Amino acid sequence: MKPIRVLDLDLDDVCKEQYDVSLFASGYESRCIHVPGLIDPSIVANTLVFGFTEEPKSGSRVHNDAFFSAKWKREPIPLSGDDEKPIYEHLHKHTESLGDPIHILLDYSSMSRLWYAAALNWARFAASGRTVVIDFVYAMGIYEESERPFVIRKMVSIPGCEGRAFRLRESVAVFGLGFHGLAALCVLDHLEADTVYAFLAAHGARTEYTARTREANKDLINHRKTKAVLELPLVSIETCYRQLAETIGPHRPDGEITLVPMGPKPHVLASILLAMRFPEVACLRVSSAPDPADVKPSGDIAVTRVIVKGDS
């Protein structure tokens, strides 16, 4: 298994780099174009923009498509949020002739988790032995209260994060909490875990989001099986990755461990990376029908460098 290294960066580091490939997503959220608007296209040799086939005219989608066409000279490639296969094909096409290492810029602010997991799986299994450096950027958002319930449509393991194929002594569930507490409880009932941990985002200046998450998930937080609730930073995936690894460490030798990230995407990324580091750990994707509510950028940006070492 190739080693994975996780480091925190900032946007200034990104702007000083040169990238072989960049991956962007165009959807209905305003924040889709926040980070691409701050970056000079000249630092990227090959740009890929994927446009969701779901809700193609909702929210800011038309404006976002026009932005990528004007500034980045790219028309979005239509792709379903449930389909990651073209990600592998395009990465292979644009890196086949490149040397070692390969540098990729990936903005996952409004991206399907299948898409950015695919970029990681490509680096792990299809990069022809080369080291791959992926700089993940995330524009934090301003979330309005939503009256639309989260109805679970699908609950499956993220590719590359399937975990053990059999159950050992205990079942451990680690929930990343968001604003949909009833959905998290439904998943807990389905998993029938013996031991539960939970983590939520410490939002810094936006403390109301932390309080809102705790209120939405109070039943799970106070559940008799819940052993601990961690507040982890949203801007430091390196810290989240390390602390989650320490939390599950005692259970890894003989436990069936399932990560269920239902909160902000940086915590989803940390969970995916952890499951990829430890093959015995699974990471679930719990999805609902698309919600075309707009998410505007707050101005804060999290940057994470993931280095997947090659064979040399």
Q: Where in the chain is the domain with CATH 3.40.50?
A: 4-142+293-308, 152-288
Say if pTM beats, i.e. exceeds, 0.85. Answer: yes
Does 3.40.50 match the CATH number of domain 4-142+293-308? yes
pLDDT digits (tens), the chain, 312 positions: 678 999 999 999 999 999 999 999 999 999 999 999 999 999 999 999 999 999 888 889 999 999 999 999 999 999 999 999 999 999 999 999 999 999 999 999 999 999 999 999 999 999 999 999 999 999 999 887 665 778 788 899 999 999 876 666 789 999 999 999 999 999 999 998 999 999 999 865 467 889 999 999 999 999 999 999 999 999 999 999 999 999 999 998 888 999 999 999 999 999 999 999 998 999 999 988 777 778 999 999 999 999 999 886
Contact 22, 133 (CB under 8 A): no
DSSP string spanning 159-215?
EEEE--SS--SEEEEEEEP-S-HHHHHHHHHHHT-SEEEEEEEE-TT-HHHHHHHHH
Sign, Cα dihedral of 77, 83, 84, 86: negative
Give the angle subtended at the CA of 220 by the CAs of 206 and 188, to the nearest 5°: 120
Find out whether 312 and 178 touch, Cβ atoms under 8 Å.
Answer: no
Q: CA–CA separation, 18 vs 176, rounded Å?
A: 33
CATH of 152-288, one of 3.30.160, 3.30.70, 3.30.1760, 3.40.50: 3.40.50
